[in-house]
Amino acid sequence: MTKRLYLVRHGETPMNAARLLQGITDANLTVKGRDAADRLGELLQPVPFAKAFSSDRTRTLETAKRILAGHEPKPPLVALSALREYYFGGLEGDPGNAIMARTIRRYGLTTSCRAWVGAKRFPGLVRSIRNADPTHQAEDFPDLLVRSRQAFEQVDAQSPDSSDILVVSHGLLLSALIYQLVPDQLPFSLLKNTSVTRIDIVNRKMRVRGVNLTREKDILALRHEEPEADDNAAKNKSK
């Protein structure tokens, strides 16, 4: 009874290309983003997706539709607002490096660097964003963790058992889930556009099978990898 979730960060947008904080701001994909989504769709074409989920932003919906373009029959695609990106508040549209500059000015270089390394790096980044927001509207770290878990609980509840599920979402939202499962596997630069992370749900427990995969050979290997047997199957096999 294994559900195999293929988690994909959306393709590149103009704001991504310009290194601007996007958050919940809507945007289409760039040509590069569309091409990457099409290529990923080719790599994942043999995966028999039973259902697909996306945030309700244009960039994720477009990415999901392009990935599923070659699938017949096409699985239903469900838009979930819970899968939206982290909300940057008054920082949306600002350069990404502005957060680092503001944090250093406020706390000093040494304190800032300590917050961005090791196991505290991801929560330190999110807290730096919230502290740098002059409007105090940016999402806080505990709320992001709760929302990411609730989003995937919705995906799990709405997905058939023993199936392959496509989930297209955003960099920080997906990173929040990965951080809660395998914090040491979260990449330093977080997740790349159109990267694939696979999580298997076995007996309602999440098991990470690959994180931030972008190379063709890695995605192909992940696609052909056999899922772990669930606990009951493993017990029966050992008898």
| CATH code: domain of residue 148 | 3.40.50.1240
Query: Mapping DSSP to helix (H, G, I), strand (E, B) and coil, where does residue 164 land?
Result: strand
Domain check: are 126 and 216 in the same one? no
Q: Do residues 164 and 152 lie in contact, with contact meaning Cβ atoms separated by under 8 Å?
A: no
232 — pLDDT class (breaks 50, 70, 90) = very low
- Asked if residue 13 belongs to a known ligand binding site, the reply is yes
239 — pLDDT class (breaks 50, 70, 90) = very low
> What is residue 162's predicted lDDT score, i.e. its pLDDT?
92
- Asked if residue 11 belongs to a known ligand binding site, the reply is yes
Neighbours of 129 (CB within 10 A): 25
Residue with tokens 């806080």: 140
In the predicted model, is pLDDT for residue 223 greater than 90? no
Domain check: are 167 and 64 in the same one? yes
- Asked if residue 97 belongs to a known ligand binding site, the reply is no
In the predicted model, is pLDDT for residue 115 greater than 60? no
Structural domain count, the chain: 2
- Asked if residue 10 belongs to a known ligand binding site, the reply is yes
Domain check: are 9 and 112 in the same one? no
Would you state the structure tokens that stand for residue 86, as one six-digit string?
A: 């982290």
85 catalytically annotated: yes
Neighbours of 97 (CB within 10 A): 9
Domain check: are 52 and 11 in the same one? yes
Q: Do residues 172 and 96 lie in contact, with contact meaning Cβ atoms separated by under 8 Å?
A: no
Paired with 199 in beta bridges are 5, 208
- Asked if residue 203 belongs to a known ligand binding site, the reply is no
Choose the catalytic residue: 10, 62, 92, 139. Answer: 10
- If you average pLDDT over residues 195-207, what whole number do you get? 93
In the predicted model, is pLDDT for residue 227 greater than 70? no
Domain check: are 27 and 134 in the same one? no
Q: In the chain, what percentage of residues exceed pLDDT 70?
A: 87
Of 151, 154, 157, 160, the closest CA to residue 50 belongs to 160
217 — pLDDT class (breaks 50, 70, 90) = very high
Domain check: are 154 and 130 in the same one? no
Name the least confident of 104-108, 150-154, 189-193: 104-108
> What is residue 238's predicted lDDT score, i.e. its pLDDT?
36
Domain check: are 80 and 16 in the same one? yes
- If you average pLDDT over residues 49-65, what whole number do you get? 99
Domain check: are 35 and 123 in the same one? no
In the predicted model, is pLDDT for residue 94 greater than 70? yes
Of 79, 111, 138, which residue is a domain's last?
Answer: 138
> What is residue 82's predicted lDDT score, i.e. its pLDDT?
97
Task: For 126-181, write each residue's pLDDT tens digit.
Answer: 998 998 899 999 999 999 999 999 999 999 999 999 999 999 999 999 999 999 99
> What is residue 233's predicted lDDT score, i.e. its pLDDT?
42
Domain check: are 110 and 75 in the same one? no
Range of the domain at 101: 94-138
Q: Choose between 224 and 154: higher pLDDT.
A: 154
Domain check: are 164 and 224 in the same one? yes
Domain check: are 65 and 153 in the same one? yes
Choose the catalytic residue: 42, 62, 72, 85. Answer: 85
Q: Do residues 34 and 11 lie in contact, with contact meaning Cβ atoms separated by under 8 Å?
A: yes
Dihedral, CA of residue 181, residue 184, residue 186 and residue 188, to nearest 10: 160
